């Protein structure tokens, strides 16, 4: 983990807070995210579902789209936590494939860190490259 431990813990704590805002009446699975930009701002996000299911948005993408829509496009790390409503975080919540692809658009795969809490409440860090090997990104088009 490149990130300093107190910052990693702060991101996890903010992701847990963001999860309180999750709108997940259909799956009942609440997710929170906290995205750290290189300008030291933290963007929180939650999953937002829809009665027609398809338009649902993951917590990670909510955080990314908030940041990009405010002009921030350079990122260091994201913390993601998730569990069924009414339960505390007691498992890893790895980002879905669509969110990994969005990360690939804006982040350096070798250095961008994805933080998770494991069953024992230890913070685990994975690089984007670990979670999306050989990803297709902006550089692939050149």
Binding site for ligand THU (CB under 6 A): 24, 27, 29, 31, 47, 49, 56, 58-60, 80, 82, 93, 95-96, 99
- Minimal distance in Å, beta carbon 48 to ligand THU? 8
Residue 43 bridge partners (DSSP):
35
Euclidean distance between CA atoms 103 and 81, whole angstroms: 16
Euclidean distance between CA atoms 109 and 136, whole angstroms: 10
- Minimal distance in Å, beta carbon 88 to ligand THU? 16
The answer to whether the beta carbons of residues 115 and 77 sit under 8 Å apart is: yes
- Minimal distance in Å, beta carbon 130 to ligand THU? 15
Residues 6+ apart with CB under 8 A from 87: none
Euclidean distance between CA atoms 74 and 135, whole angstroms: 18
60, 87, 113, 130: which one is catalytic?
A: 60
Task: Note if 60 is an active site residue.
Answer: yes
- Residue (6 or 55) nearer to ligand THU, CB: 55
- Residue (49 or 113) nearer to ligand THU, CB: 49
Catalytic residues: 60
């Amino acid at each position: 983990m490149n990130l300093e431990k107190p910052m990693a813990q702060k991101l996890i704590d903010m992701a847990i807070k963001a999860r309180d805002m999750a709108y997940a009446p259909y799956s009942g699975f609440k997710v929170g995210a906290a995205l750290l930009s290189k300008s030291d701002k933290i963007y929180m996000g939650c999953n937002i579902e829809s009665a027609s299911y398809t338009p649902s948005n993951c917590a990670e993408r909510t955080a990314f789209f908030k940041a990009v829509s405010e002009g921030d496009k350079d990122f260091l790390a994201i913390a993601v936590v998730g569990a069924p409503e009414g339960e505390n975080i007691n498992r890893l919540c790895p980002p879905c494939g669509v969110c990994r692809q969005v990360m690939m658009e804006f982040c350096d795969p070798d250095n961008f860190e994805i933080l998770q809490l494991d069953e024992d409440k230890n913070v685990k860090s994975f690089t984007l490259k670990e979670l999306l090997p050989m990803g297709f990104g902006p550089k692939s088009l050149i």
